[in-house]
Structure 1
Amino acid sequence: MQAFVRRMLGPALAISALSFTATAASAITGQAKPQLSIEAERSPQGARITFKGKNWPAAARVKLTATRAPASTKPQDFGMVDADSSGVFTVRKVAICTTQNQEDGSLETVTFTAADSATGVKATASTRGGAWVCQ
């Protein structure tokens, strides 16, 4: 019975050790993966979008784009933003409304991408298209 327990615990201990090693390596490098979050709301001017990024390299130039808005025919380009010295950015952009149809806005999803212009490292976030419905 004791040999059986050792055979069963051996792989579990190895997996635990591997997990600990990966966590320790991540803690040593201190480099967290860049992140992007999006808040989108309707406004009389169009879709008001707040981009929030963290864990980017200090002073990184980040290009902001998105898939096409509901009822639109082309992707969206929101230009460049600079991360601060701690790798954080927050910027608000306004995109024109693209549809009168509430259903388009509730059914379609818009995916945003932030890409470091120097390294090409990317982060994505998605939201429903309701913000692009004209008021």
Structure 2
Amino acid sequence: MARTTLRWLLALLYLVAGYFHLASPLTFLAIMPGWVPYPLPVIYWTGLAEVAGAVALAQPFGPWLRKAAGIGLALYALCVWPANVQHMLIDLARPDHGWGLAYHVPRMIAQPLLIWLALWTARVTDWPFARRSR
């Protein structure tokens, strides 16, 4: 039951994030690392990826599609990590320190948790809850 509930919450989180990437791309443009080519199209594509991943993760019909979504969203969270680091560096360099460490440190810690959660809720992994066989 917990896994299903968290799967739906994660899908909702990615659906909302995808919506904001598509509806307000300039907000994300400000935190895009300079080495990313074609940053505005990348923002739109990431929004579409989040929406597609959320829909596939939430659907009740095909476990193989949920697993594909879990793997895709885990890889996605790994790939956008540099933008989150960039956001933290830009924000903390501001004279008022922006959102501050109280926002950015938990966000950095949450990134591996999001990666694991995508894999666990999609049933790609049972770690660390799997029983060990003797």
Structure having the larger proportion of residues in helix: 2
Higher strand share: 1
Scaled by the length of structure 1, the TM-score of the pair is: 0.23
Question: How high is the TM-score relative to the length of structure 2?
Answer: 0.23
Determine which structure has more spread, i.e. the larger CA radius of gyration. Answer: 1
